[in-house]
Amino acid sequence: MNWQLIIIIIYFAVTMALGILASRKTKSSDSFVGAGMGVFAIVCVACGQWLGGTATTGCSEYGFTSGISGWWYTIANGVGMLMMGLLFAERYRKYGEVTIPGIIEKVVGPKSRTVCSVLLIFVMIAVGLSQMIAAGKLGQSLLGMNFTLSCCIFAIIFIIYTMSGGMDSVEATNKLHIGFMYFGMILAVILALREMGGWGNFKATLDAVDAAEGTHHFSMFGVGASKVTSWIVASVLSAGAAQASIQPVLAAKNPKVAKKACLISVLVVVPFGLFTCMLGMSARAMSEMGVLAPITDAKLAYTTLIMHFPPVVGGIILASILAAVLSTVSPIILAAATMFTKDIYQRRLRPEATDAEITRSARIGTAVSGVLCCLLAIGLVNSSAVLDLVYAAYTLRGVLFIVILFGMYWKYTSERGVCTGVLVTFVCCIAWVAAKIVTGRYPLYIGSFAISETYLGVVLACLTIIVFSRIWPKTELEKAAQNA
């Protein structure tokens, strides 16, 4: 009897039931995209953005190769959420908008809302695509399913429950996911340490590996200072414009609830990476001890470890990893649908739309976003460029946060300057990544330090917004709106 598959099916069934039952609370378009949310609900939805496939499988891979320093990934995400909570959560909430492009309209202008919404929807689809690939690979490697079938099953599940209740469904299911993720990861680490004979044997084995290979599994900078810095910069910028995690913050009952939820989210996000890194480190140590078969590919570390555990325990741990993917995908497709509905459909195409029509648009947008993520994952799964394009999408999200900062704090920021600057930055970042894909290296280095798309995007966004805002200064209408 395949206990792992049975446990996964049960978990999926519970998730679907929770999501569909929660949809009974959805009475309007506002409740579908989020309204009047409390602290706990916000924390569960917002953390889903940061604790997805990268925080589980990605961190365990870093744990296998570089050790505890892979924990910096979730620490960096926590730094971004801390910045958001201390400096921007209350102010964002006071704008009365539920999307990042909506805030951009308030600080820059209506045309910038449309441009930034289109670009941010692209970002959400790119991030969702990466999560779908992670889900499909899990189903393929751990359950023996065909990749395409795995993706389709996942897509059907999260589309149905997200489309049925929107934010209410995401809130209900993410409460389950977050708790189960922590339970599964902690259980896996405890069982692995026990099988290795305790912490002493675990550490002695990895110390021997470090001595032989020159690695640093117990150093917080084993992954490299440049990688740590890049993660922190990207997370701080992304946290200010991550629609999937900020949408529940914007839907908070009041500004103080928004701030409190961001700060508590830090305490949920940061520790998770420690356990997933320990999972990868345990796989490395057990492989060296001969408890596991030799692992030559770090990407297979966590799957090899999970398959080693007894079937029931392995099924529980596997369900916790799948929970991490589900907790991220649902907020992402809802975020993409919300921006299309609020920033394009309701704001531009059908300003006179009824509440029922707006809700229907949000549901259709959710389904379309999910289908796109699924189809793109199937089509691009074997493309080596996928991760590079996803990182470029993350950079664009950070660029939009720079737009908000300029709109808030630089009085000469013009709408045409922002629109032109963002588009130029977007094209240049994609070209920068394309050059890396073709040549295998970034076009520019300062010494041995690579100028990645993250640094290019930050510098270029600042320069282009300043230059184009000077070339096309604010109109009298923009000045009047600013003074109003």
**Which residue stretches of the chain have pLDDT < 70?**
1, 142, 383-391, 481-484
User: pLDDT tens, 449-481?
Assistant: 778 888 888 899 999 999 999 999 988 777 776
pLDDT at 274: 95
Q: Hey, is 446 helix, strand or coil?
A: strand
The CA distance from 280 to 57, in Å, is: 9
If you compute the radius of gyration of the chain from its CA atoms, what whole number of angstroms results?
Answer: 22
H helix intervals, 84-166 = 89-94, 100-107, 110-143, 147-165
The pLDDT value recorded for residue 387 is 59
What lies within 8 Å, CB to CB, of 265 at 6+ separation is: 42, 43, 46, 47, 50, 81, 85, 245
Q: What share of the chain is helix, strand, coil (3-state, %, to 5)?
A: 80, 0, 15
Is residue 323 a contact partner of residue 180, using CB atoms and an 8 Å limit?
yes
Q: For residue 49, count other CB atoms closer than 10 A to its CB.
A: 26
Find the Cα–Cα–Cα–Cα dihedral 121, 126, 131, 132, rounded to 10°: 100
* Interior/surface letters 346-385, b for 16+ CB within 10 angstroms, e for the rest: bbeeeeebeeeebbbbbbebbbbbbebbbebbbebbeeee
Report how far residue 109's alpha carbon sits from residue 121's, in angstroms, rounded to the nearest whole number: 19
Q: Which helix (H) or strand (E) holds 32?
A: helix 29-33
| ∠ Cα 92 95 96 (to 5°) | 110
Taking residue 243's Cβ as centre, other Cβ atoms within 10 Å add up to: 27
Q: Which residues contact 134 (CB under 8 A, 6 or more apart)?
A: 52, 53, 54, 57, 325
Which residues on adjacent β-strands are paired with residue 449?
446
Q: What is the pTM of this model?
A: 0.89
